Amino acid sequence: MDARTVLVLNGPNLNLLGEREPEVYGHETLADVERLCAQTAERHGLVADVRQTNHEGVLVDQVQEGRRGIVGIVLNAAGYTHTSVALRDAVSACRVPVVEVHISDIRAREPFRRHSYLTDVCAHHVIGRGVAGYAEAVTWLAEQRDAG
């Protein structure tokens, strides 16, 4: 990773996009997300490094790996949004902006999904915009880089 990198991290079950609850998450797949992020990053002269894991510790390691020297992190922590203090602490230690992304509107879902441990430590939030929210997040990071 280098100073042109946007790290896009996807948490548990996002490998099942397009299959799992399409009425909530849509029909796009993780491959579609990867393609969208790569295209959006390229339009801004950036490179998207897109990853997915079902393991909390791996996600924490990936956040720590990207915490400096890159443009920023797009993070869809999925279920760990609502449960992981460890992930929150890793995001809090970042020296680059982190954008919290959720495909569905977690504020309008089950009560346990409405609380995010990440909200107060992320620089920006894109919630309930479907897969297009990833492009919005990458664009926001590019604009922050260009403004700074």
Sole residue written with tokens 């997040």: 137
- Summarised one tens digit per residue, pLDDT across range 112-135 is 677 899 999 999 999 999 999 999
Is residue 92 marked as binding?
no
Catalytic residues: 25, 102
- Summarised one tens digit per residue, pLDDT across range 42-95 is 999 999 999 999 999 999 999 999 999 999 999 999 999 999 999 999 999 999
Is residue 89 marked as binding?
yes
CA distance 86 to 76: 15
Q: What is the mean pLDDT of residues 92-116?
A: 87
- The 3-class secondary structure across the chain, one letter per residue, is CCCCEEEEEECCCHHHCCCCCHHHHCCCCHHHHHHHHHHHHHHCCCEEEEEECCCHHHHHHHHHHCCCCCCEEEEECHHHHHCCHHHHHHHHCCCCCEEEEECCCHHHCCHHHCCCCCHHHCCEEEECCCCHHHHHHHHHHHHHHHHC
Q: Which domain holds residue 12?
A: 5-147
Is residue 76 marked as binding?
yes
Strand 124-127 versus strand 47-52 pairing type:
unpaired
* Whole-structure pTM value: 0.94
Q: What is the CATH number of the domain that holds 38?
A: 3.40.50.9100
Q: What is the number of structural domains in the chain?
A: 1
CA distance 145 to 11: 25
> What pLDDT shows up at residue 112?
67
> What pLDDT shows up at residue 105?
86
Sole residue written with tokens 């009560």: 111
CA distance 121 to 91: 7
Is residue 51 marked as binding?
no
Quick one: residue 4, left, alpha or beta (phi over 0 = left, psi -120 to 50 = alpha)?
alpha
